[in-house]
């Protein structure tokens, strides 16, 4: 091993061990997956386990809506036979959450329906009440026109298509929703990591320069070796964190999916039984075709559907590409962040040089959102090839399928881009790391690039 490589490895070891031994790193590495899974588990649990039942009084002067409002686990409707003034006077003592007033001329003036409450009712409750009234009015008018509700129900169809990829390997089930979600998550993680770990490099260089520790360090290693060791060391810290996050999240999501799946599976059996009882009481004594089809298929478990959609993607391939583009994007930008840290004396002075570096990153995230809508468009193609935007945009396209030559071209250009930015950053770093007490401008940085030392 050459002396140059040995020095870079020593710097890498120092940067890596100093950071991974910090309590903040250990806590956040193991806590983040639990927070992520816990957040979604809490949302699902609240959605499934909410049992807050509300009571709604219905005053129907028209007599057209008797037994049209159906009770549910969260809503109980109670019909009353009073004048509207009496109903409003007794509303506070009734402990009801809302009072629905349907006037006698509701067919001619449906906008005269009123909902009274001690405070504003939820939008869902308001929509449920309005939809029920609209549906009954439609039934009455359709009956008068000689059309029954059953005719309309039979005419309605619920189309659910399955996407299938046709390639050299043959037909393979795919999921546009899963591809969009996975691509968006990967792009967002790279976007955040470039900022977080790139800033760590910049601040680390600035701190060493300000404390004059760097003068001692470069007596043993060259500035280029120090910069490369620092960049790669921080990259390995981020890579370690991502690998642990992925592993822990997969384990926790698998456990949470099994628990939630069993819970939702039991709830669906209950819903299926309730549906059959309701259908038996409908005119005709049987289930309509749509309901029958739904019951026959079992209305697949949502958790199982999500897992099936994810399994339709080539996850190992996506993870491998993610790690490559994470490292490539980080290395490309962290070299520039390191150069900025070497050029200034404190964090306040970094702001003037941060804009040219952060703009391409921000634009990449914007382009990635556009690429989600058209993964094969011209904008998505070019921004996934250009090294400054490819780490984020290409990760959006990969789950949808990218031709091998495009992926290879993007990777090669990203490596060349990293080599170019590293060369540029090293030229600035070697001069700036020992420069103190001088306000640096872009013109000055340009001169540093061509200095011969």
Question: What pLDDT does 151 receive?
Answer: 77
**Can you give the three-state secondary structure of the chain, one letter per residue?**
CCHHHHHHHHHHHHHHHHHHCCHHHHHHHHHHHHHHHHHHHHHHHHHHHCCCCEEEEEEECCCCCCCCCCCCCCEEEEEECCCHHHHHHHCHHHCCCEEEEECCCCCCCHHHCEEECCCCCCHHHHHHHHHHHHHHHHHHHHHHCCCCHHHHHHHCCCCCCCEEEEECCEEEEECHHHHHHHHHHHHHHHHHHHHHHHHHHHHHHHHHHHCCHHHHHCCCCCHHHHHHHHHHHHHHHHHHHHHHHHHHHHHHHHHHHHHHHHHHHHHHHHHHHHHHHHHHCCCCCCCCHHHHHHHHHCCCCHHHHHHHHHHCCCHHHHHHHHHHHHHHHHHHHHHHHHHHHHHCCCHHHHHHHHHHHHHHHHHHHHHHHHHHHCCCCHHHHHHHHCCCCHHHHHHHHHHHCCCHHHHHHHHHHHHHHHHHHHHHHHHHHHHHCCCCCCCCCHHHHHHHHCCCC
With respect to residue 60, please indicate whether it lies within any of the assigned structural domains: yes
Last residue of a domain, one of 155, 187, 220: 155
pLDDT computed for residue 405 by the predictor: 92
Tell me, yes or no, whether 189 and 77 share the same domain.
Answer: no
Q: Is residue 410 part of a domain?
A: yes
**Contact by Cβ (8 Å): 371, 390:** no
Query: pLDDT value at position 415?
Result: 92
Instruction: For residue 419, give its domain range.
Output: 175-270+309-449
CB 68 within 8 A of CB 100: no
Do 234 and 149 fall into the same domain? no
Q: Please give the pLDDT value at position 310.
A: 59
Residues 90 and 211 in one domain: no
Q: What pLDDT, on the 0 to 100 scale, is given for residue 29?
A: 85
Question: Which tokens sit at 32?
Answer: 């983040």
* CA atoms within a 13 Å half-sphere pointing along the CA-CB vector of 119: 1
- Distance, in Å, from the CA atom of 69 to the CA atom of 60, rounded to the nearest integer, reads 11
- What CATH number does residue 134 fall under? 3.40.190.10
Of the residues 155, 185, 213, which one is the last residue of a structural domain? 155
107 occurs within a structural domain: yes
**What domain count does the chain have?**
2
How many Å apart are CA 269 and CA 298, to the nearest integer?
9
**Distance (Å, whole) CA 312 – CA 112:** 51
Residue 29 located in a structural domain: no
* Bridge pairing between strands 114-116 and 98-102: antiparallel
Query: Do 353 and 420 sit in the same domain of this protein?
Result: yes
Same domain, 141 and 240: no
In this prediction, residue 102 carries a pLDDT of 87
- Residue 291 falls within a domain, yes or no? no
Identify whether residues 134 and 220 lie together within a single domain.
no
Sign of CA dihedral 396, 397, 399, 405: negative
Q: Are 134 and 232 in a shared domain?
A: no
| pTM, two decimal places | 0.64
287 domain-assigned: no
For 33, residues 6+ apart whose C-beta sits below 8 A from its C-beta are 245, 248, 249, 252
Domain boundary among 107, 127, 155: 155
Residue-level pLDDT, tens digit, the chain, 453 residues: 677 788 888 888 888 888 888 888 888 888 888 887 777 777 767 666 555 678 888 888 888 877 777 777 777 888 888 888 888 888 877 778 888 888 888 888 888 888 888 777 778 778 878 887 888 788 778 877 777 767 777 777 766 655 665 555 555 555 677 778 888 888 888 898 888 888 888 888 887 777 777 777 777 788 778 888 888 888 888 888 888 888 888 788 777 666 655 655 555 544 444 444 444 444 344 444 334 433 434 444 544 555 555 566 778 888 899 989 988 998 889 888 888 888 887 777 777 788 888 899 999 999 998 988 888 889 999 999 999 999 999 999 988 888 899 999 999 999 999 888 888 888 888 787 777 767 777 788 888 777 776
Asked if 317 and 232 sit in the same domain, the reply is: yes
- Co-location of 336 and 251 in the same domain: yes
Q: Residue holding tokens 């999501």? A: 253
* Within a domain: 282: no
- Residue 127, domain member (yes or no): yes
- State how far the Cα of 452 lies from the Cα of 125, in Å rounded to an integer: 75
Does 352 lie in the same domain as 222?
yes
The predicted pLDDT at position 278 comes to 40
Q: Quick one: 115 and 194 in the same domain?
A: no
Q: Which two tokens stand for residue 98?
A: 């809302």
| Residues 144 and 184 grouped into a single domain | no
Q: What is the pLDDT of residue 299?
A: 45
The torsion of the CA quartet 190, 194, 196, 198, rounded to 10 degrees, works out to 160
């Amino acid at each position: 091993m050459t002396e140059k490589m040995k020095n870079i490895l020593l710097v890498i070891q120092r940067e890596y061990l100093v950071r991974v031994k910090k309590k903040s790193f250990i806590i956040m590495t193991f806590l983040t997956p639990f927070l992520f899974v816990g957040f979604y588990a809490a949302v699902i649990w609240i959605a499934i386990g909410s049992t807050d039942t509300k009571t709604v009084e219905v005053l129907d002067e028209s007599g057209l809506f008797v037994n049209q409002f159906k009770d549910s686990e969260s809503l109980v409707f109670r019909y009353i036979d009073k004048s509207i003034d009496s109903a409003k006077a007794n509303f506070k003592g009734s402990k009801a959450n809302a009072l629905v007033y349907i006037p006698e001329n509701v067919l001619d003036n449906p906008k005269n329906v009123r909902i009274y409450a001690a405070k504003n009712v939820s939008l869902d409750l308001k929509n449920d009440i309005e939809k029920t009234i609209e549906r009954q009015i439609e039934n009455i008018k359709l009956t008068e026109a000689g059309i029954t509700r059953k005719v309309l129900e039979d005419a309605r169809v619920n189309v659910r298509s399955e996407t299938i990829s046709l390639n050299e390997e043959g037909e393979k089930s795919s999921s546009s929703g899963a591809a969009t979600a996975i691509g968006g998550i990967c792009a967002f993680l790279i976007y955040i990591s470039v900022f977080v770990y790139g800033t760590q490099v910049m601040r680390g260089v600035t701190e060493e320069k300000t404390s004059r520790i760097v003068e001692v360090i470069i007596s043993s290693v060259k500035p280029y070796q120090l910069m490369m060791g620092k960049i790669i060391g921080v990259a390995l810290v981020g890579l370690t964190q991502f690998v642990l996050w992925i592993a822990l999240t997969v384990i926790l999501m698998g456990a949470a999916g099994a628990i939630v799946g069993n819970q939702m599976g039991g709830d669906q059996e209950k819903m299926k039984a309730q549906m059959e009882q309701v259908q038996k009481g409908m005119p005709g004594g049987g289930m309509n075709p749509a309901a029958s089809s739904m019951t026959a298929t079992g209305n697949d478990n949502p958790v199982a559907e999500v897992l099936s959609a994810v399994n339709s993607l080539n996850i190992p391939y996506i993870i491998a590409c993610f790690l490559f583009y994470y490292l490539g994007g980080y290395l490309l930008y962290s070299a520039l962040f390191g150069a900025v840290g070497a050029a200034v004396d404190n964090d306040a002075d970094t702001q003037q040089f941060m804009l040219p570096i952060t703009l391409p990153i921000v634009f990449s995230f914007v382009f990635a959102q556009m690429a989600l809508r058209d993964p094969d468009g011209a904008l998505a193609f070019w921004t996934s090839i250009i090294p400054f935007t490819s780490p984020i945009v290409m990760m959006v396209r990969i789950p949808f399928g990218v031709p091998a030559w495009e992926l290879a071209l993007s990777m090669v250009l990203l490596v060349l881009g990293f080599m170019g930015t590293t060369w540029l950053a090293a030229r600035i770093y070697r001069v700036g790391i020992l420069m103190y007490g001088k306000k640096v401008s872009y013109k000055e940085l340009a001169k540093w690039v061509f200095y011969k030392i």
